[in-house]
Structure 1
Amino acid sequence: MTKVLNSLVRLDPGNNSLSASNTHSPAITSQPILLKEENTWHDKLGIWIPNDLFPYVTDEPVYTSNRQAKIKGQHYEPGCIYWLNGIRKRKAAHKLAVRQQKEYEAREVKRLAYEEELSTRAKLWGTSSNRIEYREDMCKDLTNFQDHFHKKITPLTDRRSVLQNRLTQGKNVYKTNKQLLQLEQDFGCFNIDYFSVMDDCAPHYRYKGHTSDDTKHLELRPHKRPPIPSTNIDRHNSEVKKLRLDILSPEDSKVFTLP
């Protein structure tokens, strides 16, 4: 029975006879009451509004276009389908703003935590937060290069130890001396370029102004146009513009005589 009365109230909100028997009637209060159903009565507008849209209904009208909104012109009648769509867009915009605000706050928390971590690491290295990553990356590359260098040169040093032990034991002296001589030549030619192992395009090398060969070639810009294009089609592109001599002013051309 109560559901039937509530349905009648929604259909005829101005019916005082029904409102007297229903404590949820908007006729006896000036404040909107959230009902258990899907809609809520808005006293000022005099319409039923879905509960999910009610918090987004303000005194600001829903204009028919962005241009009308700028000039405060035509707007939709509250309660029509276009007005409800406008309120739904307002709700979606609010949720988007809330989500973006939360994402921004989360990024700020991560950024502050990362800066705090950088500051702690920088104190251990005795440097600033701006240079700590550069120093760490350079140290890692140097360690990796040393490991690579050690891996490549270890077979040569091991072979030298074997050959020297043969000489100490007096085994195959002539052949061993010849092999040692060849080994010493190999040691003399042994060389590993640092950037053959490391990536010279890494950010920490560009930090100190290191420029790769590809970038240098690109910066030459062999097909660069002249700074001032000419309307003369017969003029060669490589022609250099002549410098114009400054014209002296009358004050500069005056001859002053000594008293």
Structure 2
Amino acid sequence: MTKVLNSLVRLDPGNNSLSASNTHSPATTSQPILLKEENTWHDKLGIWIPNDLFPYVTDEPVYTSNRQAKIKGQHYEPGCIYWLNGIRKRKAAHKLAVRQQKEHEAREVKRLAYEEELSTRAKLWGTSSNRIKYREDMCKDLTNFQDHFHKKITPLTDRRSVLQNRLTQGKNVYKTNKQLLQLEQDFGCFNIDYFSVMDDCAPHYRYKGHTSDDTKHLELRPHKRPPIPSTNIDRHNSEVKKLRLDILSPEDSKVFTLP
């Protein structure tokens, strides 16, 4: 049988349908090639769109102006340069919104952490979160004032101890008594004003009701207009109310009757 087939092929060399059927490959349909490095094909619009702009292409058209967007009026043809610029603006607006959202979330997390910290500190001080800053700042100022007061008065107390030791030892009694008397006078005059060391314009002093110098100056009202004196010298300062005739008594009405 094989010999017969071979002989037939040799007799009719143009008849090669058998070999063609064995070597023919199926036809391939032409498909658009997606260039992922540059552009992407949009099936609905039928245009190539840059990859960075493709996620921002929606069914919403790109209008020619804000007014046209309000009335849903004229819009650009997809694919033109103005349409692409509108998509780029949409991309920039989206990135701005995402960045602002992240910043807002970061601020919110920071605020909650700060409030939690204030609440913890307030529990240690036995107060509320609203007054914790006031109490801490007041304690800091009192501590600083005590340190300053101690620094100024320590030399006087040390000097007193030295002079008293001299009297105990009997050295230069007259001169030592004179110096000790002068030292006691210095102790009597020793005085440090609290607000000469601390800043009375600090917020924690205003919180308690302390009035700053600027506020006191405003309360004087230096720009208040002076009272305008009356130029009418015939006008009396006190005006007499008019009598109503409908409420007069019979005795009062006799005054107004003619004789």
Are the counterparts in 2 of residues 53 and 87 from structure 1 also a CA contact under 8 Å?
A: yes
Are the counterparts in 2 of residues 26 and 33 from structure 1 also a CA contact under 8 Å?
A: no
1:81–1:192 Cα change, 3 Å: same
Is 161-170 or 37-46 further displaced after alignment?
37-46
Query: What is the deviation of 1:70?
Result: 1.0
Query: Which whole-Å deviations, capped at 9, do the CAs of 1:60-116 have from their partners, x for residues lacking one?
Result: 111111111111111111111011000000000000000010111111111111111
Are the counterparts in 2 of residues 26 and 43 from structure 1 also a CA contact under 8 Å?
A: no
Q: CA RMSD in A?
A: 13.7
Query: What is the deviation of 1:209?
Result: 1.3
Q: What is the SS of the residue equivalent to 1:48? A: strand
Q: What is the SS of the residue equivalent to 1:63? A: coil
Q: What is the SS of the residue equivalent to 2:130? A: coil
The separation in 2 between residues aligned to 1:228 and 1:7, in whole angstroms, is 139
Query: What is the deviation of 1:214?
Result: 2.4
Query: What is the deviation of 1:177?
Result: 0.8
Query: Which whole-Å deviations, capped at 9, do the CAs of 1:155-211 have from their partners, x for residues lacking one?
Result: 000000011011111111111111111111100110101011111111111111111
The separation in 2 between residues aligned to 1:198 and 1:205, in whole angstroms, is 10
Are the counterparts in 2 of residues 63 and 69 from structure 1 also a CA contact under 8 Å?
A: yes
Is 14-23 or 140-149 further displaced after alignment?
14-23
1:234–1:92 Cα change, 3 Å: farther
1:208–1:247 Cα change, 3 Å: farther
When Rg is computed on C-alpha atoms for both structures, the one with the higher figure is 2
1:75–1:169 Cα change, 3 Å: same
Give the equivalent residue in structure 1 for 2:57. 57
Q: Quick check: 1:5 aligned with 2:5?
A: yes
1:134–1:5 Cα change, 3 Å: farther
Question: Which segments of 5 or more consecutive residues in structure 2 lack a partner in the other structure?
Answer: none
The separation in 1 between residues aligned to 2:4 and 2:43, in whole angstroms, is 22
The separation in 1 between residues aligned to 2:253 and 2:7, in whole angstroms, is 102
Query: Identity percentage over the alignment?
Result: 99
Query: What is the deviation of 1:232?
Result: 14
1:173–1:222 Cα change, 3 Å: same
Query: What is the deviation of 1:219?
Result: 3.3
Are the counterparts in 2 of residues 226 and 237 from structure 1 also a CA contact under 8 Å?
A: no
The separation in 2 between residues aligned to 1:6 and 1:209, in whole angstroms, is 119
Are the counterparts in 2 of residues 62 and 75 from structure 1 also a CA contact under 8 Å?
A: yes
The alignment covers a number of residue pairs equal to 259
The separation in 2 between residues aligned to 1:57 and 1:243, in whole angstroms, is 86
Query: What is the deviation of 1:4?
Result: 49
The separation in 2 between residues aligned to 1:19 and 1:85, in whole angstroms, is 58
The separation in 1 between residues aligned to 2:35 and 2:72, in whole angstroms, is 33
Are the counterparts in 2 of residues 9 and 18 from structure 1 also a CA contact under 8 Å?
A: no
1:13–1:41 Cα change, 3 Å: farther
Is 158-167 or 203-212 further displaced after alignment?
203-212
Query: What is the deviation of 1:3?
Result: 49
1:76–1:120 Cα change, 3 Å: same
Is 66-75 or 225-234 further displaced after alignment?
225-234
1:59–1:190 Cα change, 3 Å: same
Are the counterparts in 2 of residues 34 and 51 from structure 1 also a CA contact under 8 Å?
A: no
Are the counterparts in 2 of residues 10 and 48 from structure 1 also a CA contact under 8 Å?
A: no
Query: Which whole-Å deviations, capped at 9, do the CAs of 1:8-27 have from their partners, x for residues lacking one?
Result: 99999999999999999999
Q: What is the SS of the residue equivalent to 1:255? A: helix
The separation in 1 between residues aligned to 2:223 and 2:11, in whole angstroms, is 78
The separation in 2 between residues aligned to 1:114 and 1:15, in whole angstroms, is 91
The separation in 1 between residues aligned to 2:10 and 2:134, in whole angstroms, is 70
Moved over 6 A (4+): 1-33, 226-259
Query: Which whole-Å deviations, capped at 9, do the CAs of 1:20-74 have from their partners, x for residues lacking one?
Result: 9999999999999964231111111111110100000111111111111111111
Is 3-12 or 29-38 further displaced after alignment?
3-12
The separation in 1 between residues aligned to 2:237 and 2:14, in whole angstroms, is 86
1:77–1:112 Cα change, 3 Å: same
The separation in 2 between residues aligned to 1:137 and 1:109, in whole angstroms, is 25
